[in-house]
Amino acid sequence: MKQSLLLLLLSILSLNIEEGEDVITIDLSQEEAEIPSSLYGIFFEEITHSGDGGLYAEMIRNRGFEDGNLPSGTMLKDGHAVAKPLHCYSNDSINHFKIAWHDSLYLEGWEVKCDGRTATSLHKITDQKPLNRATPHSLFLNLDKAQSDVWVINSGYWGIAVTKGEKYNFQFYLYSTDLSGCVVKVALIDSKDQIVSSRNIRIDKDNSWQHYEGTFTADASANDLRFALIFPDKGKVNIDFVSMFPDNTFRGHKNGLRKDVAGMLEALHPDFVRWPGGCIVEGLTMDNRIKWKETIGDIVERPGEYNLWGYRSTYGFGYHEFLQFCEDIGANGMFVCNAGMSCLFRNGDYWTDERQVDDLIQEALDAIEYAIGDTSTTYGRKRAENGHAQPFPLKYVEVGNENIGLRYARNYNRFYKAIKKKYPQIEVICALMFSPYLQETEELEIIDPHYYETAGWFYKNADVYDKLPDNIPYKIYVGEYAAIGRSSLYSSLAEAAYLTGVERNADQVQMVSYAPLIEHAAHGKDHLLVLKNDSVYGRTNYYVLKMFSENRPDVNLSTVLKPAVPATMFRTKGYIGLGTNNTEAEFKDLKVTVDGQKITTAGWEDFAEKWNAIRGSWKVDGEVLHQSQKGIDAFAILKDMEFEDCTIELKAKKISGSEGFRVVFGGTDLKNYFMADMGSHTNESVIFREMNDEGSISLFDYRNTTSILANQWYTVRIEIKGDHWRCFLNDELQYEYTYTLDKKHYVVSGYDREREEVIVKLVNAEAENWKVRLQLDNAVSIASEGTKIVLSAVDRFDENSFEAPLKIVPVISGLSGISDSFSFSCQPNSLTILRIPCKK
Ligand code: AHR
């Protein structure tokens, strides 16, 4: 027996390591990154009816008959809302932004019925009798033309739900002619138009707007009701601002939030709440951006705005309500302001004119004053008038959202200076991700990279922040992250794996928030909370976040994972090819060498026989191969040849489009291959990428920030050696990566100083048990019993649902047999948190 093997055996025996156990050594004497209380927060944006029809408790949809208003900054043309053809801030293109539009939107959620049938000739939307300037439209009814009672029905947000014994407060405005003294019946009706509750309200005055209100108490629970105003008499009437709220809102606020939904958010113990977005901060056009001043004050006078996620926001859950929510749940507010540019994936128009930017900066300063200014200031006074004299807990302002480029950096510099000058205590977040334009900023506190990637990406890149240089001059706030694709425990554990890396590097990554937060089930997306009118459930990633947030230690402890069996080294092997993504490009002078020997060259004359053009439009033009199709990921491979260690060289030129070019290698079939992706992430970096059955996984740590310029030839060289790949542009190393075949096992540990407990977080995303030996070094004392909290399921693709909302939730139980070295088995497909009382 060799000496090293003997030593290994001896050490195994001395530690009592069982066969197949990985060893996790936690050294209590070695504290690492401090973990700030700011780490886990939430990000609210009005998307997929997260607010209207979601968190915001309003039960009537399109309460002010304003849903047909065009998005600000657009005009109606040929059935479309068309934006002005202004230049996009990122590349000066004209995006010709438009969306299909129809006047029928004014009646979204409403139906007028007479004699049991839908009526079309009794009513119209009008702005002739504006209730106020901000919301001029109302529904006009000519009851004189009706043969029987006229029912004006609202179906709420996909049905109205009531709970037995609960109270519901309604209100509406009428402007009547010849109806004074008559009665309007206010009713809740079922799906067969049967009245289940009603109130008769006497119309007290004609020829002016009058306000009416009342309350229902539900006799029985139901979730398929509608709200109706029933007019039995002749006359004419305009109806506006029809609203109904449960009496029992979160913390009892009048213009309040749904108790169940807000309660689920509060249970995450978020340290901060980001509001109002997201892309809606930017808007379809600059005019369409959220203007916070329109979101405060009397809800009857809030104009609302079409939001770029496809419906009109009421602005009911406005700036004041957001700040109130922060206060209610003990969180810090994070307000996001527009930085002078609309969303570059929409119209992208921008303001850089000094006066316009000054106005935007003032808008942001006024928002801060509203939140924290004293009541002698203009906006502090407004806050008091709106019922809150004390300041709100606003701590952060983010300048813009997902912006890029020099124009952004210049505007950011101006916002930063102005905000810091007046409010040095506010922490200012820069919306740039890891981007070359960071160099253009004068001062940086925090940047905001976003990650919408596949589960595979999160597993592969759980260590992404371990690779950050120690000396980056800013902190990181991951404002949005989500494992996209099939919603399941598997994708939630991918996020858990990623969060172990976040926590380990919490001295640099100081805040994270998942996105999007809430979806109405009618949208069929997969966000953290899924709701409908009568219920809400948390997906498994809600519980992942809750477990991390509730078990946040104060400081990391040195944690070393030694696998029992080292991972086998990966050997790259397979076909090679070329590609582009949404980009037109040209390629020439391809050469592949193995061991210094030229194996293949391409002048492209034999492209048709030797290559397989899988996607795209590939044409040979002399010595140049041209790929012209945009809007897809184009891809062509060299047939019948397999390469291992090799060097791929060629020249490539981007013609136009949003990215650069790609060199494919290690392909085993059409779904499984790797690539050097030059100009990935809308041309922000050069990285490697893996394509596999789960989708596309970018293999990067975001340190690379090279963009591909159009209309110039680049010399490209890709070196492949075993598991290691290097990508050069014009002979300069851009990015290198070592591909590993590690098991999906992740661990991080830390110390809770107050409770004197070691907290160990273990993610096992494999389908079998993960046997570990936990070794706690340098503890003064260790209790023999602790606690374990486990989130797991037999089927990794399982998920919670309305039918089984609590199918996969954390299970808390005792943990016994703890010592300075003890065995533990993590269940298949699980996140396990151990809390071990330990003195140090
Ligand atoms: O979370 C949805 C959207 O994704 C956000 O609005 C935006 O910031 C990101 O692109």
**Span 503-555, pLDDT tens digits:** 999 999 999 999 999 999 988 777 999 999 999 999 999 999 999 999 999 99
CB-ligand 1 contact for 279 (6 Å cutoff): yes
* Residues in contact with 600: Cβ distance below 8 Å, sequence separation at least 6, in sequence order: 590, 591, 592, 638, 641
**Span 182-203, pLDDT tens digits:** 999 999 999 999 999 999 999 9
Binned at pLDDT 50, 70 and 90, residue 699 comes out as confident
* Residues in contact with 226: Cβ distance below 8 Å, sequence separation at least 6, in sequence order: 153, 154, 155, 156, 159, 160, 188, 189, 190, 191
Binned at pLDDT 50, 70 and 90, residue 693 comes out as confident
pLDDT, average across residues 280-284: 97
Number of neighbours of residue 243 by Cβ within 10 angstroms: 22
pLDDT, average across residues 488-514: 97
Pocket test for ligand 1, best of 280, 288, 480, 519 (most atoms within 8 A of CB): 480
Closest Cα to atom 5 of ligand 1: 278
Tell me 88's DSSP state.
P
Residue 401 has pLDDT above 50, yes or no: yes
Atom of ligand 1 nearest to the CA of 45: 6
CB-ligand 1 contact for 516 (6 Å cutoff): yes
**3-state DSSP assignment of residue 573:** coil
The angle, 0 to 180 degrees and rounded to 10, between the axes of the packed helices 319-329 and 354-372 is: 40
CB-ligand 1 contact for 45 (6 Å cutoff): yes
Binned at pLDDT 50, 70 and 90, residue 697 comes out as confident
pLDDT, average across residues 48-73: 97
CB-ligand 1 contact for 480 (6 Å cutoff): yes
Closest Cα to atom 6 of ligand 1: 278
CA 369, CA 391: separation in Å to the nearest integer?
9
* Residues in contact with 465: Cβ distance below 8 Å, sequence separation at least 6, in sequence order: 476, 501, 502, 504, 505, 508, 509
Residue 670 has pLDDT above 90, yes or no: yes
Please give the distance, rounded to the nearest whole angstrom, from the Cα atom of residue 400 to the centre of ligand 1.
Answer: 12
C-beta separation of 243 from 170 below 8 A: yes
CA 537, CA 549: separation in Å to the nearest integer?
18
The dihedral of CA 612, 616, 619, 620: what is its sign? negative
pLDDT recorded at residue 695:
80
Pocket test for ligand 1, best of 46, 47, 336, 399 (most atoms within 8 A of CB): 47
User: 251 to each of 215, 328, 335, 784, how far by Cα in Å?
Assistant: 19, 8, 22, 42
User: Token pair of 744, please?
Assistant: 């999906």
User: 749 to each of 87, 235, 497, 543, 740, how far by Cα in Å?
Assistant: 50, 73, 13, 19, 23
Sheet holding 611-615: strands in order across? 611-615, 633-638, 575-581, 661-669, 672-679, 685-692, 695-699
Tell me 295's DSSP state.
G
pLDDT recorded at residue 675:
97
pLDDT recorded at residue 602:
80
pLDDT above 70: percentage of residues in the chain:
98
Mean of all residue pLDDT scores within the chain: 94
Closest Cα to atom 2 of ligand 1: 516
C-beta separation of 337 from 281 below 8 A: yes
**3-state DSSP assignment of residue 574:** strand
pLDDT recorded at residue 636:
97
Q: Which of 38, 29, 25 is nearest to 554 (CA)?
A: 38
Please name every residue paired with 97 in a beta bridge, in sequence order, or none if there are none: none
Closest Cα to atom 1 of ligand 1: 516
Closest Cα to atom 3 of ligand 1: 278
Atom of ligand 1 nearest to the CA of 402: 8
CB-ligand 1 contact for 456 (6 Å cutoff): no
Q: What is the DSSP string of 325-388?
A: HHHHHT-EEEEEE--SB--TTTT--B--SHHHHHHHHHHHHHHHHHHHS-TTSHHHHHHHHTT-
* Angle, CA 367 vertex, CA 363 and CA 369 arms, to 5°: 115
Please give the distance, rounded to the nearest whole angstrom, from the Cα atom of residue 522 to the centre of ligand 1.
Answer: 19
CB-ligand 1 contact for 277 (6 Å cutoff): yes
DSSP3 helix / strand / coil % (the chain, rounded to 5): 20, 40, 40
* Residues in contact with 85: Cβ distance below 8 Å, sequence separation at least 6, in sequence order: 94, 96
**Span 96-138, pLDDT tens digits:** 999 999 999 999 999 999 999 999 999 999 999 999 999 999 9
**Span 288-326, pLDDT tens digits:** 999 999 999 999 999 999 999 999 999 999 999 999 999
Binned at pLDDT 50, 70 and 90, residue 745 comes out as very high
Please give the distance, rounded to the nearest whole angstrom, from the Cα atom of residue 788 to the centre of ligand 1.
Answer: 35
Alpha-carbon dihedral angle through residues 487, 488, 494, 497, given to the nearest 10 degrees: 130
Residue 243 has pLDDT above 80, yes or no: yes
Number of neighbours of residue 10 by Cβ within 10 angstroms: 10
pLDDT recorded at residue 702:
60
Please give the distance, rounded to the nearest whole angstrom, from the Cα atom of residue 450 to the centre of ligand 1.
Answer: 9
Please give the distance, rounded to the nearest whole angstrom, from the Cα atom of residue 533 to the centre of ligand 1.
Answer: 24
Please give the distance, rounded to the nearest whole angstrom, from the Cα atom of residue 476 to the centre of ligand 1.
Answer: 17
C-beta separation of 635 from 664 below 8 A: yes
Residue 460 has pLDDT above 80, yes or no: yes
Residue 2 has pLDDT above 70, yes or no: no
Q: Which of 16-25, 577-586, 708-717, 786-795 has the lowest mean pLDDT?
A: 16-25
Please give the distance, rounded to the nearest whole angstrom, from the Cα atom of residue 194 to the centre of ligand 1.
Answer: 42
Binned at pLDDT 50, 70 and 90, residue 832 comes out as very high
Residue 5 has pLDDT above 70, yes or no: no
Atom of ligand 1 nearest to the CA of 47: 2
Give kind and range of the element (H or E) at residue 562.
strand 555-562
CB-ligand 1 contact for 515 (6 Å cutoff): yes
pLDDT, average across residues 695-723: 87
Which backbone phi and psi does 102 adopt, to 5 degrees?
-145, 140
How much is the pTM? 0.91
Please give the distance, rounded to the nearest whole angstrom, from the Cα atom of residue 151 to the centre of ligand 1.
Answer: 40
Q: Which of 338, 337, 325 is nearest to 392 (CA)?
A: 325
CB-ligand 1 contact for 402 (6 Å cutoff): yes
Residue 44 Cα to chain centre, angstroms: 9
**3-state DSSP assignment of residue 404:** coil
Binned at pLDDT 50, 70 and 90, residue 688 comes out as very high
Closest Cα to atom 8 of ligand 1: 278
Pocket test for ligand 1, best of 452, 453, 518 (most atoms within 8 A of CB): 452
CA 549, CA 529: separation in Å to the nearest integer?
16
pLDDT, average across residues 63-81: 97
Please give the distance, rounded to the nearest whole angstrom, from the Cα atom of residue 401 to the centre of ligand 1.
Answer: 8
pLDDT recorded at residue 124:
97
Residue 26 has pLDDT above 50, yes or no: yes
C-beta separation of 544 from 499 below 8 A: yes
C-beta separation of 532 from 795 below 8 A: no
Please give the distance, rounded to the nearest whole angstrom, from the Cα atom of residue 399 to the centre of ligand 1.
Answer: 15
pLDDT, average across residues 214-222: 97
Please give the distance, rounded to the nearest whole angstrom, from the Cα atom of residue 279 to the centre of ligand 1.
Answer: 5
Q: Which of 29, 11, 32, 33 is nearest to 773 (CA)?
A: 11
Please give the distance, rounded to the nearest whole angstrom, from the Cα atom of residue 346 to the centre of ligand 1.
Answer: 13
Number of neighbours of residue 778 by Cβ within 10 angstroms: 13
Q: Which of 710, 704, 692, 824 is nearest to 760 (CA)?
A: 824
- Relative to beta strand 583-594, strand 597-602 is antiparallel
pLDDT recorded at residue 207:
96
Pocket test for ligand 1, best of 282, 284, 309, 402 (most atoms within 8 A of CB): 402
* Residues in contact with 736: Cβ distance below 8 Å, sequence separation at least 6, in sequence order: 724, 725, 726, 727
CB-ligand 1 contact for 278 (6 Å cutoff): yes
Helices (H), 603-683: 607-610, 680-683
Tell me 309's DSSP state.
T
Please give the distance, rounded to the nearest whole angstrom, from the Cα atom of residue 703 to the centre of ligand 1.
Answer: 22
Question: Which residue shows structure tokens 């008769």?
Answer: 200
Residue 598 has pLDDT above 80, yes or no: yes
pLDDT recorded at residue 775:
98
User: Token pair of 157, please?
Assistant: 């947000």
pLDDT recorded at residue 503:
98
Binned at pLDDT 50, 70 and 90, residue 704 comes out as low
Please give the distance, rounded to the nearest whole angstrom, from the Cα atom of residue 288 to the centre of ligand 1.
Answer: 16
